[in-house]
Amino acid sequence: MKKYDYLIVGAGLFGAVFAHEAKKAGKKCIVIDKRNHTGGNIYCECIDGINVHIYGAHIFHTDNKEVWDYVNSLVPFNRYTNCPVANFEGKLYNLPFNMNTFYALWGVTTPEEAKAKIKEQRAEYANITPTNLEEQALSLCGKDIYQRLIKGYTEKQWGRSAQELPAFIIKRLPFRFTFDNNYFNDAYQGIPIGGYNKLIDALLDGIEVITDTNYFDDRNKWDNIAENMLFTGCIDEFFDYKCGELEYRSLRFEHKQVDTDNFQGNAVVNYTERQIPYTRVIEHKHFEFGTQPTSVITYEYPDSFSQGKEPYYPINDERNTSIMNKYKELAAQLNNVLFGRRLAQYTYADMDDTIAAALELCKKTFNSKI
């Protein structure tokens, strides 16, 4: 008889939800994480009284009432609404593309005028069959929106020319013909009051957690400590890369304390020029309507991925999809190991989808109603 029912590798959102529900189901769990903190990429660090999103901006949004009720049963959320702004050559444009954006671009003041302008812009590319991202975007929105708000940002994000990127990356571009700057259409949106650490702490309350501990440093020990395992790390690393290494894009962050109470007037400002190396600047106090006398900002830079860097965005091309399918086959052969979270499933997932997936796995695993 082993000491624990479940070893959970990774103290991020997926692992924390699973641990929480496993404990409720009467299972004895231990959670380990190679970082020196819990929470994964939603971890916050308090600097000058401001909860700083160390791994980039995280705004919780969902249209899933079950998930919204679940997180609010653990910690109350505020009413933050995500309204990012794009800066191109010093001029500001609202996102997503809405009437405020169209007015800034063309001076149009009615939806009819905006629709006519977009139709005019698209007409030049109506007869092309898009073979790359640039052609796809131009056929969807025309040159003004593409050149000012899409091209540079996308090329920075992926580290390649838009003409070298596949067309399927942009399937559609939503246009909103109202003066509404709310980025998300979801019914529920906000930030945990006091930061995301409050949410993770509530999920992991009463559960044994060990940080600064890499599963792969003593794999034999951890494989024999529990009857079952939930693994939330990179699936290719779990299988010793026997089917090949999966590719990612990474990010790096430069945090800076500034001696002003309001640096940019908004939580998120995107920089869409190719020449500016960062993609956005985050001012964290605005996530929680802070009134501190100083501020903390973060410059977010796209980065190539290599071992030792954090994998953020999977590159879901034909090669990587083929490799991942082989790992899925290997994973299906293991009876006592579960795989979850974006790294173990080689996918990008919003927080609400991560929680929903974790809860669904718990229902199947513990035959419970949540």
Q: In 3-state terms, what secondary structure has residue 261?
A: coil
Catalytic residue among 249, 288, 312, 341: 249
Catalytic residue among 172, 217, 240, 318: 172
Catalytic-residue membership of 35: no
Catalytic-residue membership of 172: yes
Catalytic residue among 55, 155, 196, 280: 280
**Cβ neighbours around 134 below 10 Å, total:** 23
How long is the chain? 370
- Asked if residues 78 and 191 have their Cβ atoms less than 8 Å apart, the reply is yes
The residue among 313, 281, 289, 228 whose CA lies nearest residue 51 is 289
CA atoms 38, 157, 245, 328: torsion sign: positive
The C-alpha atoms of residue 121 and residue 116 are separated, in whole angstroms, by: 9
Catalytic residue among 113, 273, 350, 353: 350
The residue among 343, 31, 4, 15 whose CA lies nearest residue 213 is 31
Catalytic residue among 300, 312, 346, 352: 300
Catalytic-residue membership of 249: yes
Catalytic residue among 21, 153, 176, 283: 176
Catalytic-residue membership of 301: no
Catalytic-residue membership of 348: yes
The C-alpha atoms of residue 117 and residue 162 are separated, in whole angstroms, by: 24
Eight-state DSSP code of residue 77 = B
The residues pairing with 229 across neighbouring beta strands, listed in sequence order, are 7, 337
User: What Rg value do the Cα atoms of the chain yield, rounded?
Assistant: 22
Catalytic-residue membership of 120: no
- CA angle 2/214/239 to nearest 5° reads 80
The residues pairing with 282 across neighbouring beta strands, listed in sequence order, are 268, 298
Can you point out the beta strands (E) in the chain?
A: 4-9, 29-32, 44-47, 50-53, 60-62, 85-88, 91-94, 188-190, 208-210, 226-231, 248-258, 268-271, 280-283, 295-304, 313-314, 337-339
Catalytic residue among 218, 241, 348, 360: 348
Report, as residue numbers or ranges, the catalytic residues: 172, 176, 249, 280, 300, 348, 350
